[in-house]
Amino acid sequence: MDNLLIGRPIADVDTPALLLDMGAAERNIQRMAGFFAGRPCKLRPHTKTHKLPLIARKQIEAGAIGVTCAKLAEAKVFLEAGIRNVLIANQVVGPAKIQALVGLAAYGDLIVCVDQLDNARDIAAAAGAIGRSMSVLVEVDVGLNRCGVQPGRPALELVRKVAGLKGLAFRGLMGYEGGLYTHDLDLKRRQCAESNRLLVETKALIESAGFPVEIATAGGSNTYNLTGFFPGITDIQPGSYVTMDEHSALYGMDFEQAITVLATVISRPEQGRAVTDAGKKSLSVDEGLPVCRRAGVAIAKLNEEHGHLALADAGQALKVGDKIEIVPSHGCTTIPLYDRYVIVRDGRVESVAEILASRASW
């Protein structure tokens, strides 16, 4: 049935549906690639947002050196799709996952992060048992207070021990400051610079101790135009710029909106109010309510399967059966609610693509 949609107008798509405007996504990819063309800092874009090998291939064709994943299962999807350079920007812990990790390293240049010696030893033992060397980065906490060893000497001491483990290849460091969401641009610049300084100074300390640091990766879509200029950062990991969302736009990212959720009006119970078939199971709300693209129509609240619309004068003509496009507040948590993208271009369906990493949570 999906193939029967190809070539048809968006209005023929059943709902709720996740639309991907491929033209907008391609322009976003080219714009980010153009920004970094010729710069020392390279692109290692994050796939945790779009979760689609088709998009990753377009990013690499535009100049990206590889991709970043959040989970082992995501890395599996992209490696098996032929993406050769994959960083897991996270820790992989536990015997079963570690065994899968070292097995997948046969499919490309797979790199994983560590911040604990015991975890590094476990990975080294599993890799050594099958005659393999696993590439690792030491994650440094540069202020996000998530994972990571402390910068400076604590990081150096961990690197000393990790670099000495047979079965591991120490490749460098990872930091992350992309969560610096603030409307105070001066504050953002200062905080970003401080986070990057901690990472780069830690890199210099480790290199002065005799351990080459090939990679110092950091950044995200929110800080690409700050971290991307910071001397010593080798590559950055922007993700949400490809698809965008209302939260990103609210904080000044001006890439094109490439994903929307198509919904159908299923009820007009009273003047000034309508109900759609897209609720919390179709639209995430962790960054607030989504936004309607239609003038005079606003999302008032979401239940599990119902979206409540508040209609101003311009929206009163909305009737049962009408379809509206909704901009997610947070694309990274809305996209995994779907199994497929309906890919559109110039108002018509171009393709329907399974979101291969949609359920990649392990």
252-310: pLDDT as tens digits: 999 999 999 999 999 999 999 999 999 999 999 999 999 999 999 999 999 999 999 99
Q: All domains of the chain, ordered by start, with CATH? A: 2-18+253-354 (2.40.37.20), 84-239 (3.20.20.10)
pLDDT given for residue 283 in this prediction: 98
CA Rg, the chain, in Å? 22
Averaged pLDDT, groups of 10, the chain, 362 residues long:
87 98 98 96 97 98 98 97 97 98 97 98 98 97 94 98 98 92 93 97 98 97 95 97 97 96 97 97 97 96 98 91 98 97 98 90 83
The answer, yes or no, to whether the previous bond of 151 is cis (omega within 30 of 0) is no
pLDDT given for residue 359 in this prediction: 78
Residues contacting 95, CB < 8 A, separation 6+: 122, 126
pLDDT given for residue 144 in this prediction: 86
End-to-end CA distance of the chain: 31
Smallest Cα–Cα separation from 293: which of 275, 309, 269?
309
Element (H, E) at 102: helix 95-104
SS3 labels along 265-287: EEEEEECCEEEECCCCCCCCCEC
Q: From CA 128, how far away is CA 125, in angstroms rounded?
A: 5
Virtual CA dihedral for 344, 347, 349, 354, nearest 10 degrees? 30
